[in-house]
Amino acid sequence: MPSKTPKSTIKPADFATLYDGFNSPVSRFDCGRKCAPLNGGEPVCCSTENAVPVVHKVEFDLLKTRTDLWSKFKPYDYATKQIVAELTNDCMAIHCKGARFCERDNRTIACRGFPFYPYLTRQKEFIGVGTYWVFEDRCWMMSNLEVVDRTFVEEFIATYEALFIKDHSEFTTYVDFSASARRVYSRWKREIPLLGRQGELLIVTPSTGEVRPGRKKDFPKTAPFSSEKEYRAAVKEAGGEVPKEGLRAT
């Protein structure tokens, strides 16, 4: 007989602990200022027009005791209705007040980790982090993986390892999602870029699942972030304004 999936034991206090251990920024650069001119002035990860945050219901229970930043998300079109309809019973979609009102201590796990997800091999080994490929044309960071800080990657991995222990359904979700990534990239005839557990670049051959060390030329570059000229042209077409200040975070 197939073994039963372990019951989730995660509690609101567990998410508070996870938050405490996952505070490092993705990099020392303020990447939101690079993508915002292409997304109506807001970072791609801070608007439900681009990405709908999905959280464990227990995580929302914690957030409600700490802040009024978050509320239940109300679908506004067919696509967002589908997102909500496909959620498991222990998850929900939520909405925040926007980037101008962000409270860094009250960001969700998904917010802290964007644009990355935990990548698991066919053997279900957690070897690093992949990127949510559907955002590659809007997220500057996905074309600049070389600037991601090792501390961020280490905190990301530690957070999800702890989450997987408390809630096995999270583990199976990303086993399945990683398999989906291999199918998508195989169809595209492209290799999958990952950041390994120490922040190093890894490359996955999607058809076989084979993993090899990446080289400088393997760092992905996607339009409109392939060059500064292409980026500036895209910003102009979007009616935005190229950031005048440096991207170094304060």
pLDDT of residue 88: 86
Phi, psi of 16 (to 5 degrees): -60, -40
Span 83-108, pLDDT tens digits: 999 898 889 999 999 888 999 999 99
Q: Please give the order of strands across the beta sheet that includes 91-96.
A: 54-56, 91-96, 70-72
Q: What is the mean pLDDT of the chain?
A: 92
The rounded distance, in Å, linking the Cα atoms of 245 and 247 is 7
Within 10 A of 155 (CB to CB), how many other CB atoms are there? 18
Break the chain into its structural domains and give their ranges. 12-237
pLDDT of residue 5: 58
Span 171-206, pLDDT tens digits: 999 999 999 999 999 999 999 999 999 999 999 999
pLDDT band at 169 (very low <50, low <70, confident <90, very high): very high
Span 205-245, pLDDT tens digits: 999 999 999 999 999 999 999 999 999 999 999 999 998 76
**Does residue 206 have a cis peptide bond before it, meaning omega lies within 30 degrees of 0?**
no
pLDDT of residue 1: 41
Contact 218, 207 (CB under 8 A): no
